[in-house]
Chain A
């Protein structure tokens, strides 16, 4: 309850020498480009073959 007795000072924003409000404006929102579902393989050997096919391993 003691906190309620503390003085509450109000300072005008202009006295603080800072500019209020966001500087950066938001113009528009959009959906990000999604990824497509790919192919399913059956086992490890098929996965290795698929990766070799793409030149990744």
Chain B
């Protein structure tokens, strides 16, 4: 019997869609009893969303003013304090989970298993290595707790319609004061979040400048899509770092991915290979992106993209 605790990622009011995917992963473990832990300053709204996810048997909440912002040094000791009864502690392999879960694993004195792609047994999992060029099966020791991150792109979201009970738990641990939340700077955007968007339009170095990268934003807005970029475009300063897709950026699995002026370096492809449909627009017909694209179009993006935008608006 596996007792699984999933750490809920949220923005203070809305549960991140990655959590429903973590639940699907947890449900793949035999006889799993799945609970979700919400740490926030105000937990009711988030906990209600977590309680709707099917297969969740209980939602636990820790409501403390210190939890208003996701600071790993503050959250991890609280998670470690309530983790005692659980055989598995899972988080999403998002920026949030990649920051938090290793801290939890360290406090519990166990190795972390990262990026679970599939579940082979209660302690045996498949995960990608070498930028997704190989898949390794790993076995964690069965006699200790398992801390892991779930590769969100590999899992479908669990359905809703559940109404699991919500319970507050007491985690009166002393919190460290060495790390404090100062502020958050991010490029505010009304577009869908890159990591969870159903459609993503991404631009590469061929866009040529920050001004011309506007073409990508316009097409994305016509489609209601999120915006991504290759590392080359980010390094050239055409768009902010948080748009980077690939090995050192975000690993995404939208239904539709449109790569514009992106050659398709292996480090970029590793970030998109679970996408439903990949469309590539590039002037170089030899570009490696066409090897993985479902629909390819060779041509000048500066004439094609405006036509696409007007046809789709």
Contact = CB atoms under 8 A, between A and B. Distances in A.
Interface residues of B, number: 43
A47 B297 contact: yes
Interface stretch (B136-144, B161-169, B206-214): B136-144
B135 A29 contact: yes
A47 to B, nearest CB: 5
B264 to A, nearest CB: 11
A22 B279 CA distance: 41
B138 A57 contact: no
Contact of B223 (A24, A50, A57): A57
B295 A32 contact: no
A39 B290 contact: no
Given A26-B136, A27-B138, A27-B139, A47 B293 contact: no
A27 to B, nearest CB: 4
B246 to A, nearest CB: 15
Interface residues of A, number: 29
B297 A23 contact: no
A20 to B, nearest CB: 12
A40 interface: yes
Contact of A32 (B135, B140, B278, B298): B135
Contacts of B110: 23
A41 B111 contact: no
Interface in A33-56: 35, 37-48, 50-51, 54, 56
Contact of A48 (B132, B291, B311): B311
B136 A38 contact: no
B304 interface: yes
Contacts of B133: 32
A29 B136 CA distance: 4
A43 to B, nearest CB: 7
Nearest to B141: A23
B290 A50 contact: no
Nearest to A35: B292
Contacts of A48: 308, 311-312
A42 B99 CA distance: 44
B138 A26 contact: yes
A5 interface: no
B277 interface: yes
B299 interface: yes
B293 A37 contact: yes
B250 interface: no
10 pairs of A and B residues whose beta carbons are closest in the complex: A38-B294, A44-B307, A27-B137, A35-B292, A23-B111, A40-B296, A48-B311, A56-B256, A25-B139, A24-B111
Given A35-B292, A47-B279, A51-B277, 9 more contacts: A23-B110, A28-B136, A30-B135, A32-B134, A35-B294, A47-B308, A51-B256, A54-B277, A57-B312
17 contacts: A23-B140, A24-B113, A25-B138, A26-B138, A27-B138, A28-B136, A29-B134, A30-B134, A30-B135, A30-B136, A32-B128, A38-B296, A43-B297, A44-B297, A47-B304, A50-B295, A51-B277
